[in-house]
């Protein structure tokens, strides 16, 4: 069996909801030629630094002194109150691991406001260590430096620009994909397995998925952009007709089992199948199928693949190569940035309910056959 390396893994094409790969955030609202998009990106980067505990100064430099901030939890009348609330939340959620915020996208609204979307991952300090992931949006109302807000920019704000023009944020309106109670109920409150597997298997981190529409037993959701471990193989022959469990192959498990410490699990995983045409040379080709399995990585891992551990090559490592079934013709494994595709979800519990699976208790009454001409 000849195994060839799979295609080189690369980030997907630019997408509005893809992980933001904008130019370096050297520009801030203190620059005279800055536009709304620059302010949105700078605000997202500064918010991430504040949540990580690096510094609140970059965020303060973008806000008017009397800027108001509305979030699902807080209502802050000025910049100082916002800094105090944010500092308290960061300290609470940093007890076990540092919070992580990744900017996903940004856009300018029709009314002139600008909006930045992000995903925030924090860990609730409990013995079962639940992770909370929030899809959030910060909608920013901008004002000219020295000319916006009820009191305008403070003296410190004016001095920081060196006498140049620019804009600052006058109001921040923050929204989440879940209400605080929904996030607490679905992501923090323990389930039976959290206690049954305490100190054995960690609570799975849930990808925050925004519901687009719902019907009876089904939901159409948008999966957030994410960094994932992608394992892929192309198969042919009898494997095309064989039943296979939707599990990653052996070469996708590239780490070592940890006997001590804490590790992460993320739910859900994804499997994609596609029919492809495989060239054999000399003008010949065969039908094949490509299977891609995505294991989402924890939000706290960030969005930069180069900072993650190097992965082994399954085509050269005999430990993985010898375990491949006959019919696999190419394999690959690597980190990819996934865009934000929609997905249809259904409840397996509903599909397995007696109302769906069980036959009727009595056979339905059949209509009598039509009378024959002789009758």
For 129, the token pair is: 């260590």
At a CB cut-off of 8 Å and minimum separation 6, what does 18 contact? 11, 12, 104, 105, 225, 337, 339, 340
Residue pair 19/102 in contact (Cβ under 8 Å)? The answer is yes
Task: Please answer whether residues 34 and 28 qualify as being in contact, where contact means their C-beta atoms are separated by less than 8 angstroms.
Answer: yes
Q: What pLDDT, on the 0 to 100 scale, is given for residue 58?
A: 94
Mean pLDDT of 251-277: 72
Band of pLDDT at residue 227, cut at 50, 70 and 90: confident
Q: Is residue 75's pLDDT more than 90? A: yes
Average pLDDT estimate for 275-294: 83
- The single residue listed with the structure tokens 């981190």 is 205
> According to the per-residue pLDDT averaged within each range, which of 113-127, 313-327, 355-369 is highest?
113-127
65: Cβ contacts below 8 Å, ≥ 6 apart: 78, 79, 80, 149, 151, 153, 154, 156, 157
Map out the domains of the chain with their CATH numbers: 4-10+220-243+264-348 (no CATH), 36-189 (3.10.450.50)
Report the distance separating Cα 153 and Cα 163, nearest Å.
13
Instruction: State the DSSP string of 23-61.
Output: S-TT--TTSTT--HHHHHHHHHHHHHHHHHTS-SHHHHT
- How many Cα atoms sit within 13 Å of 62 on the Cβ side? 29
Q: Provide the CB-side half-sphere exposure for 41 (13 A, CA).
A: 16
The separation between CA 360 and the C-alpha centre of its own chain, rounded to angstroms, equals 43
Select the more confidently predicted residue: 375 or 104.
104
The top-scoring range by mean pLDDT among 74-83, 191-200, 343-352 is 74-83
**329-336 mean pLDDT:** 85
pTM over 0.85: no
Has residue 331 got a pLDDT over 80? Answer: yes
Whether 315 and 1 have beta carbons less than 8 Å apart is answered as: no
130 band by pLDDT with thresholds 50, 70 and 90: confident
Q: Is 43 in contact with 368 (CB distance < 8 Å)?
A: no
pLDDT of 249 > 50? The answer is yes
Is residue 73 within 8 Å of 132, Cβ to Cβ? Answer: no
Instruction: Please state, in angstroms and as integers, the Cα–Cα distance from residue 61 to each residue in 29, 31, 89, 277, 374, following that order.
Output: 8, 11, 20, 55, 97
* Residues 79, 46: Cα–Cα separation, whole Å: 14
């Amino acid at each position: 069996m000849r195994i060839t390396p799979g295609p080189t893994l690369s980030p997907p094409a630019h997408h509005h909801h893809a992980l933001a790969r904008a130019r370096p955030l050297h520009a801030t609202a203190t620059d005279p030629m800055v536009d709304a998009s620059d302010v949105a990106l700078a605000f997202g980067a500064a918010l991430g630094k504040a949540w990580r505990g690096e510094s609140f100064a970059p965020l303060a430099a973008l806000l008017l002194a009397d800027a108001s901030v509305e979030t699902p939890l807080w209502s802050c009348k000025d910049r100082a109150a916002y800094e105090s609330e944010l500092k308290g939340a960061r300290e609470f959620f940093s007890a076990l691991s540092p919070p992580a915020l990744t900017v996903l996208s940004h856009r300018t609204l029709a009314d002139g406001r600008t909006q930045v979307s992000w995903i925030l991952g924090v860990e609730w300090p409990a013995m079962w260590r639940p992770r909370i992931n929030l899809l959030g949006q910060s909608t920013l109302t901008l004002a000219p430096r020295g000319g916006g807000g009820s009191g305008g920019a403070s003296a410190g704000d004016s001095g920081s620009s060196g006498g140049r023009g620019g804009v600052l944020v006058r109001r921040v309106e923050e929204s989440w994909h879940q209400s605080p109670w929904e996030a607490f109920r679905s992501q923090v409150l323990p389930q039976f397995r959290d206690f049954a597997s305490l100190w054995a298997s960690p609570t799975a981190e849930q990808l925050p998925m925004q519901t687009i529409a719902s019907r009876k037993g089904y939901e159409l959701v948008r999966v957030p952009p994410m960094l994932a471990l992608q394992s892929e193989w192309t198969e042919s022959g009898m494997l095309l007709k064989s039943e296979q469990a939707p599990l990653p192959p052996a070469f996708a498990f590239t780490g070592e089992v940890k006997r001590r410490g804490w590790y992460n699990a993320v739910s859900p995983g994804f499997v994609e199948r596609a029919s492809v045409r495989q060239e054999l040379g000399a003008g010949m080709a065969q039908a094949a199928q490509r299977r891609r399995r995505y294991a989402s990585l924890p939000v706290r891992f960030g969005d930069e693949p180069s900072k993650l551990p190097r992965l082994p090559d399954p085509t050269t490592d005999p430990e993985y190569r010898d375990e491949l079934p006959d019919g696999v013709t190419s394999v690959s494994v690597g980190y990819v940035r996934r865009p934000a595709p929609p997905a249809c979800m259904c409840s397996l519990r509903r599909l397995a309910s007696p109302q769906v699976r069980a036959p009727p208790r009595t056979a339905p009454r059949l209509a009598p056959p039509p009378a024959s001409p002789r009758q």
